[in-house]
Amino acid sequence: MQLERLNVRSIMRSSVDFLGQFYEAFLRYGASSKQLGIVFTPRHITRYCAELTNVKLGMSVYDPACGTGGFLIAAYDRMMADATSPRAVQTAKDSLYGFDTGSTVWALAILNMMFRGDGKSHLAFDSCFDHAADMESCFDRVLLNPPFSQADEPERDFIDHALNSLKPGGELAVVVPTGVLVDRDHKQWRKNLIANHAVLATISMPTELFYPTGSPTSLLVVKAHAPRVDMGTFMAKVHNDGYTISKNRRIPTTGSQLPKVAELLKGYRTGEFTRPIRGLACVVDRTYIKDGQELCAEQWLPQSSMSEEEFIDSMDNALRQMYLTVVNYPGIVDVLIEDFVELLGSIEPPDYSKPTARTPLGDIFEVSMGKSIGMDNYPLGSTPYISSGEAFNSVVELVNPPHVEVYDTPCITVTAFGQAHIQPWRFCARGNGGSAVRVLEPHFPMSVSELLWYASRINFQKWRFHYGRMAIISRLKYLEVDPYPGYAPEELNLADRIQTFTEEMSKLLPGRES
């Protein structure tokens, strides 16, 4: 039999974390990782973190929440690649340390190390916090993916413990929920982090990295106890980590940006990378982040310009969305703003003038929350209710809300995830909860093409927003947009176009004359 010829020890001594993969598969078809409070770090990410921190033979490596040992295995493999003598092999075996409080995953970590002939004696079934004093300034590298969303042991506590465990100049690579790097609740913590350490890099990862768990994450790389006032922070946004979703699982694909980002980070360390690469990476000066500002590429990466062709395509898509909305909600034509063009062109401007250079969105629009507290509070009617969906212009139902909650002037709505739509009809918008909508009312008189331009500029930067970094009012107000360059000068009358579309569509219905 083929199974009888299987050399288990040889397989387990390879660079593949078989036990970790086996256990992940077991959880996929058995008890869920969420039920067990476990989120496994993808093995290409454990290897990547070891690469980013340049783990070498002779370094001591620590994981305070080691799970099945994925990070430690990645570090061990890098060390063993350089271990050409028995003494060097023994050094690698004695260099790994870890804790975990989950008995099952800790046992798997022990087995993983045993099969590799590795330093299993340094993996303890215990809490890292119970040994914090013993760990202080002990290690050259810490690789970590802390447990997420545990009220009694927040991710920040694990990161602080990891940094305290590092020698001065030692480095940490940690997988963190994006919220730790962007939410206002963590602002003081970020300020302290930058004051006491050198934040070398933050790398925003694809939102599906932990699929099917929906946890937007980033990689944070820090040099411990070595703050640098003359050194900025490298920030990158990875859209492709070499995997894609197919048939409810992530499978390898081409075009991974991870090698390029690792190369750029090396260039940052040597001072060779200074100019931003649009949509991918930049270096942010310490003065912009020293007070606890957001530590993510979505905030700081420069935006790309938009060509006339791209704008025309965007306009076409916007009109197509409106037409599809009419098809899905025919009654919506009854609340079209007939004088949309006139209202838009007669807005009373404020004291300051219309911008002529790239400027924050808040200088062009009044940005506010929708006024509705929930669609279930209204009977059905003819007024579109706007929520945070993307299809059908974000319309989810036609309702009859109080007049005070209805917008009846030209506006742009923006979903929690950054999708912008022009609403050519009277509408009400959700203003509470995770699906709350932001409403943008122009400060200045403008054309419909100009309004479409600003909606397009928001959508062009939609990649900045996701579940871990929503399009809240403060982020939208400071989102920079280019002024309207005068593309597509022909005026558009949205109400006329939608009425014409409706009439032509009705001719196609049975019983109508062609």
Write out pLDDT tens, residues 169-191: 999 999 999 999 999 999 999 99
Average pLDDT on 202-206 reads 97
- Any bridge partners for residue 235, and if so which? 202, 282
Average pLDDT on 40-48 reads 92
Domain boundary residue, one of 300, 319, 342? 300
Assess whether 283 and 337 both reside in one domain: no
Assess whether 282 and 352 both reside in one domain: no
Residues 383, 423: contact at Cβ < 8 Å?
no
Q: Is residue 246 part of a domain?
A: yes
Helices (H), 447-513: 448-460, 473-477, 494-507
Q: Is residue 514 part of a domain?
A: no
Assess whether 113 and 65 both reside in one domain: yes
Q: Give the HSE-up count for residue 221: Cα atoms under 13 Å, Cβ half-sphere.
A: 24
Domain enclosing residue 39, as ranges: 3-300
Count how many domains the chain has: 2
Using the CB atoms, write b or e for 38-54: b if 16+ within 10 Å.
Answer: bbbbbbebbbbbbbbbe
Instruction: Find tokens 């990862």 and name the residue.
Output: 205
The structure's pTM equals 0.89
Average pLDDT over the chain reads 89
User: pLDDT (tens digit, 9 = 90+) per residue, 95-129?
Assistant: 999 999 888 788 878 877 777 666 566 888 899 99
Assess whether 292 and 324 both reside in one domain: no
Domain boundary residue, one of 282, 300, 318? 300
Q: How far apart are CA 344 and CA 338, in angstroms?
A: 11
Assess whether 285 and 393 both reside in one domain: no
Assess whether 114 and 200 both reside in one domain: yes
* Burial zone of 457 (CB within 10 Å; 0-12 exposed, 13-18 middle, 19+ buried): buried
Domain boundary residue, one of 241, 265, 300? 300
Q: How far apart are CA 21 and CA 371, in angstroms?
A: 48
User: pLDDT (tens digit, 9 = 90+) per residue, 361-405?
Assistant: 999 999 999 999 889 989 999 999 999 888 999 999 999 999 999
* Burial zone of 100 (CB within 10 Å; 0-12 exposed, 13-18 middle, 19+ buried): buried
Using the CB atoms, write b or e for 475-514: b if 16+ within 10 Å.
Answer: bbbebebbbbeebbeeebebbeebeebbeeeeeeeeeeee
Instruction: Find tokens 């009419």 and name the residue.
Output: 326
Assess whether 432 and 366 both reside in one domain: yes
Q: Is residue 512 part of a domain?
A: no
